[in-house]
Amino acid sequence: MPKLPPALRKKLIALVLAGAGTVGIATSYTAYWEGKSNATYIDPTGTPTICYGHTGPDVKPGMVKTDAECLALLKQDMSWAFAAIQRYVKVPLTQGQTVALASWVFWAGETNFRNSTLLRLINEGKMPAACGQYIRWIYSKGQKLPGLEARRSADEWLCRYDLPQS
């Protein structure tokens, strides 16, 4: 059964009540799961990473970013995740489905998204089956990661039940 952690539920309710848009909610949701490190670190896959899970050729060992720079990188990364959703999703999504999908695309990358069963099922209008795909993405190098399991469970919850209202 998918779960939404109580602290995250409270945060999402506050954002909904404050009238935050989908991009703002997805950015906060992603930041919650990614956490923030202003200095470069090596993630569980061995990838140099900084700030809120930012990776790429621009990330070098020993880098340190300010909080403002980290937020700017997260917004940039979320922007390309939303652009990928606009390019490939051909059916309407609820706000919760969009938030979960944007966070997943941020994490999985555009190529994995484009080639995924998750996307195929979404575009076929098979949302219950699509929501069930999130939990398949909990492994790194063949090892189940508890943090990913909790994150994917929350993604599935949002996909199935939308954003909490109260």
Out of 34, 77, 155, 156, the active site residue is 34
CA distance 144 to 12: 27
User: 34 catalytic, yes or no?
Assistant: yes
Nearest to 162 by CA among 109, 92, 113, 59: 92
User: 149 catalytic, yes or no?
Assistant: no
Asked if residues 137 and 108 have their Cβ atoms less than 8 Å apart, the reply is: yes
Rounded to 5, what percent of the chain is helix, strand, coil? 60, 10, 30
Residues classed as catalytic: 34, 43
